[in-house]
Structure 1
Amino acid sequence: MIFEWFSATFLSLLGALILDRLIGEPKSWHPLIWFGKWVDSGRLQLQRPLTDCESTQKRAGVFAWGLAVIPWLIVLFISFSVLPSALSWLLSTLVLYFCIGWQSLREHAQAIAFPLAKKELVKARTAVGCIVSRDTDNLTNEDVAKAGIESVLENGSDAVFAPIFWFFIFGAPGVLVYRLANTLDAMWGYKTDELKYFGWFAARADDVLNFIPARLVVYTYALCGMLWGNGARARRCARQQSLYWKSPNAGPVMAAGAGALGVKLGGDAVYFGKKESRPILGEGRDPNADDVTRAVTLIDRGVIVWVVFIYVLI
């Protein structure tokens, strides 16, 4: 029985990855886009009448998180209880397909790398602005490449490997909870005056759910970086440099990826008009357009490694 479940899970994984590469991410009707609009509208309705008291805002944030996630989990469990096995397998495959962002990440990276290689800095700034929260108007070529690589490496963990991990562990319910939690963190997990208390739980939940996958991604990047002769450097950077990064999961992931690529990331960046001095991640030279493409290759190799490993495991 357990073997059959894991076999069906592996076939769903293959199906979702194939769908993602062939079709990509739906641009106008993606369920997560609708989910984001729905929860943000609900947040405004829930948060407006509240005081600015820290404890009140945190309790409201916990309640809002549960209200946004739990009903969809219940709907999924009910669907599995009434559907025949073949349709349950199809539903699992579709849930993972909508929760994974492999091809989308590739497309965003290419939209940065291609104009950057042609010295079309304005287009490259616009493209990188679609996937990062920092200010992009004054970025140099190296800054754009750095921002793009950081986003590719971090989102490779968040949008590709972590969904695969939770799907393999808990099936469709596991990846659904993870992806909704990750979306809520992306929307509410900022330390602005409006969200620093309300979004506290969303940020912590995402940290917890990403903790194990992020550590596995560190080893994945290091293993794949061995093809460039940078496996040991990737592990060393993740171990030493991530201690100084503000995010407990993004730090080791980006440090390992930078080490695997042999480039330097981090440094000063401007967020919402304020300059932040961030630690240096990685070792080697400053990045360029080719390194954005190499970051995508690192993700692609990692996906292959994970699929092979899961196949051998079952």
Structure 2
Amino acid sequence: MSASTIDALLTVGTTGAALWIALLVDHAFGEPSARWHPVVWIGNYLGAIGRRIAPIGSSTARVAPFIGGMLAWCVGVAVFGGVAFIVQRALWALPFWATAIGLGLLLKPLLAWRMLRDEVLAVEDALGVSLDVGRAQLARLVSRDVRALSASEVRESAIESLSENLNDSVVAPIFWFVLLGLPGAAVYRFANTADAMWGYIGLRNGRDWTWAGKWAARADDVLSWVPARLTALLLFLAFWRPGLRRLPSEARRTPSPNSGWPMAAMALLLDVRLGKPGVYTLNAAGQSPSAQDVAHAAAGCTRAVVVLAIGVLPSALVLAWLNRV
């Protein structure tokens, strides 16, 4: 066996081992404290710089906010991605087992499955107390106004958040980690957090993000394009049910080019209606979600995460082979 083949296999093995370590740490311990959480650091940066680039109140300015948002985004990517690159390069100088452990521990904060699942299931538990408590719990997950939502609409929003964030918080970071290593996962999490904080049209918290957040929103669209469709496919594999042919037409009902794919997949697989009043409806002929549907959605997403983790090995082997051609 040639030295290049051995190196490729070690790279594949290290990538796979690091991913499983990250997922096991996530399962056992959940999120690290805010003090040591890189996504919190990213949020702090975006919050501080955002107050400088987004105009207060409605604004007709375009060029200055757009350029400011673009430059701030690029600086953030350069810093967080650059640090991840330097750390990863140092880790690869260590023995195989140490590299895998180091990468796994550093990858963990860039993905969050346990917290997402627990938060969604907590919405259903809160609904068991009262509708108002359920709405309050949902408000931790979504940015929409929850005050007038019915119990069924609360469940719809929870399932939508679960399926959409399965991509944003799990599949996409893993996809970019497999493709580009720790820097890929770090850059994606920065881009996704920037979209969550800046990617709005009009006013949010008294500032106009229409142009200040446009670059962040489009960058996230690009980086999430493949992972969002992969997430939908993983859900179909996890549930192993028909309906894939209807997926594209349902996914295109949402304004977002990406979030509709995992949400439409979940709506079809559970045969429930999901939607945002006045904006879109997915699987309109489906039934209203029940408490059992929320539990089934969480269980299906767990299986999808396992399917993805198992599928990383052959995917990494293909990438290793392509790198040698």
TM-score by length of 2: 0.86
1:91-126 CA distances to partner (integer Å, 9 max, x unpaired)? Answer: 32122100101001111012111122x252122111
* SS, match of residue 232 in structure 1: coil
Find out whether 1:154 has 2:164 as its counterpart: yes
1:176-227 CA distances to partner (integer Å, 9 max, x unpaired)? Answer: 100111001000001124111010010011111110111111111122222x
Q: Which residue of 2 is the match for residue 41 of structure 1? A: 48
2:54 and 2:200 map into 1 onto residues whose CA distance is: 15
Shift of 1:267: 4.4
Of structures 1 and 2, the one scoring higher in RCO (CA 8 A, sep 6+) is 2
Q: Which residue of 1 is the match for residue 77 of structure 2? A: 69
2:90 and 2:312 map into 1 onto residues whose CA distance is: 29
Q: Which residue of 1 is the match for residue 125 of structure 2? A: 114
Retained in 1: the 8 A contact 2:14–2:99? no
Q: Identity percentage over the alignment?
A: 33
Q: Which residue of 1 is the match for residue 258 of structure 2? A: 249
Q: Which residue of 2 is the match for residue 32 of structure 1? A: 39
Retained in 2: the 8 A contact 1:238–1:253? no
* SS, match of residue 249 in structure 1: coil
Q: Which residue of 1 is the match for residue 209 of structure 2? A: 195
Structure 2 residue aligned with 1:139, among 149, 153, 177?
149
Q: Which residue of 1 is the match for residue 233 of structure 2? A: 219
1:278-314 CA distances to partner (integer Å, 9 max, x unpaired)? Answer: 2334652110222112111111010111122223444
* SS, match of residue 107 in structure 1: helix
Find out whether 1:129 has 2:139 as its counterpart: yes
Give the letter for the 2:298 counterpart.
V
1:5 and 1:68 map into 2 onto residues whose CA distance is: 28
1:70-99 CA distances to partner (integer Å, 9 max, x unpaired)? Answer: 112222222334453245433321221001
2:53 and 2:125 map into 1 onto residues whose CA distance is: 43
Give the letter for the 2:63 counterpart.
S
Distance 1:145 1:302, change over 3 A: same
Structure 2 residue aligned with 1:89, among 75, 100, 113?
100
- RMSD, aligned α-carbons: 1.9
Find out whether 1:55 has 2:69 as its counterpart: no
Find out whether 1:99 has 2:104 as its counterpart: no
Q: Which residue of 1 is the match for residue 298 of structure 2? A: 296
1:282 and 1:100 map into 2 onto residues whose CA distance is: 32
TM-score by length of 1: 0.89
2:90 and 2:275 map into 1 onto residues whose CA distance is: 50
Retained in 1: the 8 A contact 2:254–2:279? no
Shift of 1:38: 2.4
Find out whether 1:170 has 2:180 as its counterpart: yes
1:99 and 1:308 map into 2 onto residues whose CA distance is: 19
The residue correspondences of 1:252-263 to structure 2 (distance < 5 A) are 252-263=261-272
Structure 2: unaligned runs, 5 residues or longer: 1-6, 318-325
After superposing the two structures, state which structure 1 stretch, 213-222 or 84-93, moved more.
Answer: 84-93
2:147 and 2:104 map into 1 onto residues whose CA distance is: 40
Retained in 2: the 8 A contact 1:258–1:282? no
1:116-153 CA distances to partner (integer Å, 9 max, x unpaired)? Answer: 2x252122111111011111112111011001000001
2:149 and 2:90 map into 1 onto residues whose CA distance is: 53
Give the letter for the 2:64 counterpart.
T
Distance 1:295 1:283, change over 3 A: farther
* SS, match of residue 275 in structure 2: strand
Structure 2 residue aligned with 1:310, among 309, 312, 316?
312
